[in-house]
Amino acid sequence: MTLPRLRIAHQLSVLMAAAVVLAVVVVALLSAFNLRSGFRDYLKARDDDQLMRLVALVEQRSAQDPQLQWLRDEPEPMRALMDAFNGRAARPPARPPRPGTDEGRPPRQDGRPPPNPARDSMGDRLVIRDAQGMQLAGRPHPNERPRTVRAIKVNGVEVAFAELMSEPAPEGLEDHFLQRQIRLLWWAGALAIGLAVLAAGWLAGRWSRPLVDLQRSTRAIALGQPPPKLAPSGAQEIAQLVDDVNHMGQELERLAKARRMWIAQISHELRTPLSVLRGEMEAIEDGARQATPEVMKRLQGEVLQLNRLVDDLHTLSVADMGGLRCTLTPGDAHARLWHMAQSSVAPAAQREISLTMPPEQAAALPVAWDFGRIEQLLGNLLTNSLRYTDAPGTLDLQWHSDGQWVTLTLEDSKPGVTDADLQELFEPLFRADRARQRGQDSGSGLGLSIVRSIAQAHGGTVQASHAAAGGLRMTVRLPTHPARPGP
């Protein structure tokens, strides 16, 4: 039979309550034991103190009478000794009872009846013996009863011994006091347990409430629904988990929105060249247009554009799946970058854009890169700048190395982009504001996304910022020797 699982609030309540109950019970038991033991220790310490004071009294009285004759001559030696110990005057001997009456001792001089010694008082438990062991005062007790023995010395010589029997288990008022303290201890423990159970229930509910909200949020995510935004609460770890789940929900919602836009934009990008191809082919088929070399060249251009778009989409999809591998080969970064950039000098001149770069004769920069991917990266950056920079304009390409990293920067002149667009430039199919696209081919919107994927595959980064010339500044940082060939 499978038992139902308890909710976490109930589990926490039970665990905390059990821990508190166990702690209270253990503390109560130890306290009760310590109270009894401490009470016995107190009685023993009290007896030791009284016995030492009594021995000192007897030694003082026996200083002139080492044989303790003064004690032997007392008709009631123990009563006389205890009266002296307690500071009371010696009592006259009790007269014999009158015939026909039960009267014993006369009443006390102050008119009060003589007190009855409490059972198990010090006088009842005390025995005085001389050096030969003969009993001088007190009543005999069983030999097996525990006792404390102190020597009575006169001038350094033991003349007698005082034996005080151990206090038996507390009874009467002392026992009542001890039992009352233990009962109070148990009542306090029961109250502590009750309060602890209530506190455990409250704390468990407070701790588990954010988890219940998290469960509802993650269930919505699992069902493909937008999760509710949760307010961080509870312990620091739970609050951090709530923040993480909120961030995850926002990212999933952003990705879902991006996926929908991706599909819509891809459909639009594919529709344009396909519509041109379809229109041209229908015109040729209907005889409205002849299949001249110019028409065929235009059709081939649309096919090439469609092919580039498909290749770019394939590159991005492979990168998203972590499959954009780079074959690293050693080489001179300066020489390779310089020759790659040379292919853009003529197109830049045709657009009245001045392209500047480091001189061909410069110190070598030894690296290990996938130069095919790096050529694609640099080509996309240059194509993007040439496409959107107004003529006449400038384009400044620079690179340098600190031995560990190669930093490549590309700055163009006006127009620039807004701060909001800077955050979106590397998103697939994103196009900046139309001021950068006046009368120009806007491209597929995938070039900068591919730049980022290639940089990340080499273990590097790419960042966009505003250029001093009013345009866009691209900064690419690549390690000279990546730790691994791509993800």
Closest to 201 (Cα-Cα) out of 18, 400, 395, 361: 18
CA–CA separation, 264 and 432 (whole Å): 18
Closest to 125 (Cα-Cα) out of 50, 57, 178: 50
Considering the domain architecture, whether residues 365 and 457 belong to the same structural domain is answered as yes
Considering the domain architecture, whether residues 151 and 40 belong to the same structural domain is answered as yes
Residue 104 lies in a domain: no
DSSP 312: H
Domain endpoint, select from 223, 253, 268? 223
Residue 170: pLDDT band with limits 50, 70, 90: low
Crossing angle for the helix pair 371-388 and 447-457, to the nearest 10 degrees: 150
Considering the domain architecture, whether residues 291 and 430 belong to the same structural domain is answered as no
Considering the domain architecture, whether residues 301 and 247 belong to the same structural domain is answered as yes
For 22-32, the pLDDT digits (tens) are: 887 888 788 77
Considering the domain architecture, whether residues 345 and 474 belong to the same structural domain is answered as yes
Domain endpoint, select from 320, 350, 377? 320
Please state the domain count of the chain. Answer: 3
CA–CA separation, 258 and 264 (whole Å): 10
Residue 487: pLDDT band with limits 50, 70, 90: very low
What pLDDT does 215 receive?
79
Considering the domain architecture, whether residues 201 and 70 belong to the same structural domain is answered as yes
Residue 106 lies in a domain: no
Considering the domain architecture, whether residues 33 and 71 belong to the same structural domain is answered as yes
Q: Which residues contact 434 (CB under 8 A, 6 or more apart)?
A: none
Q: Are 324 and 318 in contact (CB under 8 A)?
A: yes
Considering the domain architecture, whether residues 259 and 202 belong to the same structural domain is answered as no
- Chain centre to alpha carbon of residue 12: 18
Q: Which domain holds residue 275?
A: 236-320
Instruction: Provide the whole-model pTM.
Output: 0.51
Residue 114 lies in a domain: no
Residue 113 lies in a domain: no
CATH of the domain at 245: 1.10.287.130
What would the mean pLDDT of 33-51 be, rounded to a whole number? 77
Residue 102 lies in a domain: no
356 compared with 277, residue with greater pLDDT = 356
Query: Is 357 exposed, middle or buried (CB count within 10 Å of its CB: 0-12, 13-18, 19+)?
Result: middle
Q: Are 473 and 419 in contact (CB under 8 A)?
A: no
For 60-98, the pLDDT digits (tens) are: 777 777 777 776 766 676 777 777 777 655 555 555 555
Return the structure tokens found at 345.
Answer: 């000098």
Considering the domain architecture, whether residues 364 and 409 belong to the same structural domain is answered as yes
Q: Is 9 left (phi over 0), alpha (psi -120 to 50) or beta?
A: alpha
Residue 101 lies in a domain: no
Q: What is the dihedral of CA 79, 84, 87, 91, to 10 degrees?
A: 50
CATH of the domain at 374: 3.30.565.10
CA–CA separation, 207 and 214 (whole Å): 12
Residue 333: pLDDT band with limits 50, 70, 90: very high
CA–CA separation, 141 and 129 (whole Å): 13
50 compared with 347, residue with greater pLDDT = 347
For 406-447, the pLDDT digits (tens) are: 999 999 998 888 888 887 888 877 766 534 454 445 556 778
DSSP 136: E
Q: What is the dihedral of CA 63, 66, 70, 76, to 10 degrees?
A: 110
Considering the domain architecture, whether residues 472 and 342 belong to the same structural domain is answered as yes
Q: Which residues contact 101 (CB under 8 A, 6 or more apart)?
A: none
Domain endpoint, select from 223, 254, 286? 223
Considering the domain architecture, whether residues 314 and 371 belong to the same structural domain is answered as no
Strand partners, 163: 127, 149
**Which residue has tokens 């529709």?**
271
What pLDDT does 362 receive?
85
Q: Is 326 left (phi over 0), alpha (psi -120 to 50) or beta?
A: beta
For 436-477, the pLDDT digits (tens) are: 454 445 556 778 888 998 898 899 999 999 998 888 999 999
The DSSP bridge pattern shows strands 329-332 and 405-413 to be unpaired
**Which residue has tokens 């096919």?**
303
Return the structure tokens found at 327.
Answer: 């074959």
Taken as a whole, the chain contains a residue count of 487
Residue 231 lies in a domain: no
Considering the domain architecture, whether residues 67 and 200 belong to the same structural domain is answered as yes
Q: What is the dihedral of CA 128, 130, 134, 140, to 10 degrees?
A: 10
Residue 384 lies in a domain: yes
CA–CA separation, 76 and 40 (whole Å): 30
